[in-house]
C-alpha cells in the first residue's frame, strides 16, 4: 500500500482529467488538447478534510471545478473551513458525516442545484 500525500493526490487529479488512470502510465505528463480531456477540471468535485487536500482544492477551483471542505460535526470547529473559504481554496463546506453512504449523492445534487442558481454569491447551501 502506498501513502497518499498532496503530490500523489494532485497527480491523480491530472490522471483523471487526462484519462490516464494506470499509475505507471507516463503519458500523464504529455500534452492533451483541452477538447480531448476525459474529465475537465470544471467537471470535478473535490471533497477534502485535511491540509494534504489544500493543493488539490486550489487546483480544482482555479480551473473552474468545485471544492468542498468538510468539518467534524462533533467538535463543530469550522475555523479551518472558514480560512479555506477566505483563501478561495473551497467554495462550500459541510459536516463530514453527511458524505457517508447514500447522503453523498444528495449532498452533491443539492450543491449543483444551489451553485447554478447562486454562482458567485458567496452563500453556502449547507
Q: How far is CA 15 from the centre of its chain?
A: 15
- In this prediction, residue 15 has a pLDDT band, given cuts at 50, 70 and 90, of very high
What is the pTM assigned to this prediction? Answer: 0.75
Residue 56, strand partner residues? none
- In this prediction, residue 59 has a pLDDT band, given cuts at 50, 70 and 90, of very high
Per DSSP, helices labelled H in the chain are 6-18, 54-62, 79-86, 103-118
**What are the backbone dihedrals phi and psi of residue 68, each rounded to the nearest 5 degrees, phi first?**
-125, 125
- Give the pLDDT mean for 71-91: 87
Separation CA 83–CA 41 (nearest Å): 23
- Give the pLDDT mean for 17-42: 92
- In this prediction, residue 12 has a pLDDT band, given cuts at 50, 70 and 90, of very high
The pLDDT, as a whole number, for residue 120 is: 53
Residue 48, strand partner residues? 69
Per the model's pLDDT, the better-predicted residue between 105 and 62 turns out to be 62
Q: What value does the mean pLDDT of the chain take?
A: 81
β 92-95/45-48 pair status:
unpaired
Per the model's pLDDT, the better-predicted residue between 51 and 103 turns out to be 51
Per the model's pLDDT, the better-predicted residue between 123 and 15 turns out to be 15
Helix (H, G, I), strand (E, B) or coil at 33: coil
Amino acid at each position: 500500500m502506498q501513502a497518499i500525500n498532496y503530490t500523489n493526490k494532485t497527480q491523480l487529479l491530472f490522471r483523471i482529467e487526462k484519462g490516464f488512470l494506470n499509475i505507471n502510465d507516463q503519458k500523464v505528463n504529455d500534452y492533451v488538447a483541452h477538447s480531448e480531456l476525459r474529465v475537465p477540471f470544471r467537471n470535478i468535485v473535490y471533497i477534502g478534510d485535511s491540509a494534504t487536500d489544500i493543493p488539490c482544492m486550489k487546483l480544482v477551483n482555479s480551473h473552474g471545478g468545485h471544492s468542498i471542505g468538510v468539518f467534524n460535526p462533533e467538535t463543530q470547529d469550522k475555523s479551518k473551513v472558514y480560512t479555506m473559504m477566505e483563501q478561495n481554496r473551497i467554495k462550500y463546506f459541510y459536516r463530514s458525516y453527511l458524505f457517508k453512504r447514500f447522503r453523498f449523492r444528495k449532498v452533491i445534487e443539492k450543491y449543483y442545484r444551489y451553485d447554478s442558481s447562486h454562482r458567485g454569491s458567496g452563500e453556502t447551501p449547507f
